[in-house]
Amino acid sequence: ERVRVAVVFGGRSSEHAISCVSAGSVLTHLDRDRFEVIPVGISRDGAWVVGPGDPEQLTISGRTLPEVDAGADALVLPGEPGRGLVRLDAGRAGEALADIDVVFPILHGAFGEDGTVQGLLEMAGVPYVGAGVLASAVGMDKEFAKKLLRAEGLDVAEGVVLRPGTDIGFADRDRLGLPLFVKPARAGSSMGVSRVTDPAALDAAIAQARLHDPKVLVEAAVPGREVECAVLEFPDGSVRASLPAGLRYSGEFYDFDSKYLDVSELDIPAKLDDEITESVRWKAITAFRALDVQGLARVDFFVTDEGAITVNEVNTMPGFTASSAFPKMWAVTGLDYPELLTTLVETALRRGTGLR
Ligand code: ATP
Ligand code: MG
Ligand code: MG
Ligand code: MG
């Protein structure tokens, strides 16, 4: 009997389209001999709908990004604001969602990667791929993620948190210098992130970040090249780090376009001394444990030639598109895309829900 996996994607975050593209790859690569796959889209307004069945519809063509269209067949679940707790319209969608063994929430950003969907699934007692409520929430919030990473002895960027309605003071401007990076506390795919070299541009950058989150981080620029490492939990409970990837892109930083639209390249393994490579892998696992992550995480670093290693962030549901680093790092480390997905689903089933 095949395991019934609901692949949930889209959602209410600014990373809606990227989640769709990630889901396109996941739907293509899940082993159909082992899994019965039910695609479940969440529209930008939060309506849940079964389909589309064809992953080809979930790809980027030119500069056009895909989107979930709730259409008439929408199955409304918690998440469509203002529609109450649950309104299950039976029919095809209701049948499809009955008796799901495990959910693969391939959702990035708010209302998906941040513990909210994870909480819903915990309440329902349905196992799911990836981090639980706490780790998802903390991983999404760069303010608290950095606190926990620092408490574990890992280096993170110097910075200041601007709560809603507050502005950066002169002392912090002096301390952090230039260039600065300004980013929403809870977002992803570099949405709302700016590199600021001119003090006159700082206010506009903060306003830009606030379009994604009223809480904003202003950070000193960290020197070094960008390196990522893919951490994976196996069904036996062991946690391993992949070979790291070195990022190459043409712009000033790794922005949205370099991630998904322009040509950017990954060196896997990253061109680092063996000692630095091992240190990155060990720090990736340390970061994973610091945030009490389950399942998987992509840990992003800055690494200098001298071997200074700074953790940038922990992504609990990293990109899974065909060009994404996480599946590529595991492929080079010896686990191909279908095997990676099988591992994720089996680890989720083994873990189950509730306290553990
Ligand atoms: P992701 O898609 O990886 O989830 P994100 O939206 O969470 O990205 P960050 O990874 O924090 O955002 O930042 C995006 C990019 O901005 C980084 O990959 C890096 O190129 C640049 N960047 C961010 N913060 C800094 C910093 N303090 N110093 C140097 N570069 C930075
Ligand atoms: Mg991120
Ligand atoms: Mg992310
Ligand atoms: Mg990042």
Which of 127-136, 148-157, 316-325 is the least confident region? Answer: 316-325
Return mean pLDDT, the chain: 92
Which of 47-56, 97-106, 342-351 is the least confident region? Answer: 47-56
Which amino acid is residue 294, in one-letter code? Q
Point out the ligand nearest to the CA of residue 192. Answer: 1
For a pocket test of ligand 1, which of 108, 143, 181 has the largest count of ligand atoms closer than 8 A to its C-beta?
A: 181
Which amino acid is residue 59, in one-letter code? T
Q: Is the pLDDT of residue 60 over 90?
A: no
Which amino acid is residue 268, in one-letter code? I
Alpha carbons 13 and 67: distance in angstroms, whole number: 12
- The three-class DSSP label of residue 196 is strand
Higher pLDDT, 58 or 298: 298
Q: What is the mean pLDDT of residues 233-248?
A: 98
Residue 39, preceding bond cis, omega within 30 degrees? no
Q: What is the pLDDT of residues 142-156, one digit of tens each?
A: 999 999 999 999 999
Buried/exposed 315-329: b ≥16 CB within 10 Å, e otherwise: bbbbbbbbbbbbbbb
Q: Is the pLDDT of residue 243 over 70?
A: yes
Q: Is the CB of 190 under 6 A from ligand 1?
A: yes
Q: Is the CB of 219 under 6 A from ligand 1?
A: yes
Q: How confident is the model at residue 263 (pLDDT cuts 50, 70, 90)?
A: confident
* pLDDT of 49: 84
Q: Is the CB of 249 under 6 A from ligand 1?
A: no
Write out the CATH class of domain 138-156+222-335: alpha beta
* pLDDT of 84: 54
Q: How much of the chain exceeds pLDDT 70, in percent? A: 92
Q: How confident is the model at residue 6 (pLDDT cuts 50, 70, 90)?
A: very high
Alpha carbons 133 and 354: distance in angstroms, whole number: 11
* pLDDT of 189: 95
- Backbone dihedral angles phi then psi of residue 259, each to the nearest 5 degrees: -75, -40
- The three-class DSSP label of residue 51 is strand
Atom of ligand 1 nearest to the CA of 259: 2
Task: Give the residue among 194, 222, 232 at the shortest CA–CA distance from 346.
Answer: 232
Residues 6+ apart with CB under 8 A from 318: 230, 296, 297, 298, 324, 325, 326
Which amino acid is residue 170, in one-letter code? F
Write out the CATH class of domain 3-112: alpha beta
Q: What is this model's ipTM? A: 0.98
Measured in Å, residue 91 CA sits from the centre of ligand 3 at 35
Q: Is the CB of 157 under 6 A from ligand 1?
A: yes
* pLDDT of 28: 94
Q: Is the pLDDT of residue 72 over 60?
A: no
Q: How much of the chain exceeds pLDDT 90, in percent? A: 79
Atom of ligand 1 nearest to the CA of 187: 6
Measured in Å, residue 35 CA sits from the centre of ligand 1 at 35
Domain ranges of the chain: 3-112, 138-156+222-335, 159-218
Q: Is the pLDDT of residue 90 over 50?
A: no
* pLDDT of 89: 52
Q: Is the pLDDT of residue 86 over 70?
A: no
Q: What is the pLDDT of residues 278-318, one digit of tens each?
A: 999 999 999 999 999 999 999 999 999 999 999 999 999 99
Q: Is the CB of 222 under 6 A from ligand 1?
A: yes
Measured in Å, residue 195 CA sits from the centre of ligand 4 at 14
Q: Is the pLDDT of residue 239 over 50?
A: yes
Measured in Å, residue 85 CA sits from the centre of ligand 1 at 36
Q: How confident is the model at residue 47 (pLDDT cuts 50, 70, 90)?
A: confident
Helix orientation angle between 337-351 and 16-29, rounded to the nearest 10 degrees: 100
Q: Is the CB of 128 under 6 A from ligand 1?
A: no
What CATH number was assigned to the domain covering residues 159-218? Answer: 3.30.1490.20
Neighbours of 288 (CB within 10 A): 27
Task: Give the residue among 219, 120, 125 at the shortest CA–CA distance from 177.
Answer: 219
Q: What is the mean pLDDT of residues 95-118?
A: 90
Q: Give the start-end residues of each E strand in 122-174.
A: 155-156, 159-162
Q: What is the pLDDT of residues 189-229, one digit of tens each?
A: 999 999 999 999 999 999 999 999 999 999 999 999 999 99
Q: Is the CB of 145 under 6 A from ligand 1?
A: no
